[in-house]
Amino acid sequence: MNVGNEPEMRVLFVCLGNICRSPTAEGIMRQRLDAVGLAGRVAVDSAGTGPWHVGDPPDRRAVAAAAGRGYDLSPLRGRQVSPVDLVDFDYVIAMDENNLVDLRSMADGRCELLDRIALLGDFSARHRGQPVGDPYYGGTNGFDRVLDMIETCIDGLVVDITERLDRA
């Protein structure tokens, strides 16, 4: 039971730049949690493994594609993931295999931290083992494919979190 205002679960989405895929996941997740009444119980953030876009807003193509489906990414700003995030977040969710490798190397062999790291595709039966492909160097329809896959996977993630909250 939540007796204070502290979130009971924390979710961090991680990609390379933190301007395309992971902010998109953050925006979708915030809206889904709001829709199922869990926004106050689950904290959401996103970060990049690379340093290039710290402080930057999301890529304008990602903002436009998300806005077309009712998600507002405009307040989000880039930050770089750090080892302490593995301690602070219950779910640290990678978009692709490179992100997974980088995150696992930050866990320093600690099993309890490695267990928090997952691939987003693994939350959907349809996308199990698949990466969310990087749309940065592609055309605008890449951003719609990213949205399609992330929406599907986040439905599965919300079920996973709901079950975990119910067990707690």
- Looking at the annotation, which residues are catalytic? 15, 21, 134
Q: Output the CA angle 32-134-44, nearest 5 degrees.
A: 30
Binding string, 116-145, against ligand 4NP, x = CB under 6 A? Answer: ------------------x-x---------
Q: How far is the CB of 70 from ligand 4NP (least distance, A)?
A: 20
Count residues near ligand 4NP (CB under 6 A): 11
Q: How far is the CB of 67 from ligand 4NP (least distance, A)?
A: 17
Binding string, 10-49, against ligand 4NP, x = CB under 6 A? Answer: -----xxxxxxx--------------------------x-
Distance CA 117, CA 113 (A): 7
Q: How far is the CB of 165 from ligand 4NP (least distance, A)?
A: 28
Q: What is each CA distance from 40 to 1, 28, 43, 159, 162, in whole angstroms?
A: 12, 16, 7, 16, 13
Instruction: Give the contacts of 26 (CB within 8 A, at least 6 positions apart).
Output: 13, 44, 45, 46, 73, 76
Helix, strand, coil % (nearest 5) of the chain?
A: 45, 15, 45
Q: Which residue is nearest to ligand 4NP (CB)?
A: 17
Residue ranges that bind ligand 4NP, judged by CB under 6 A: 15-21, 48, 52, 134, 136
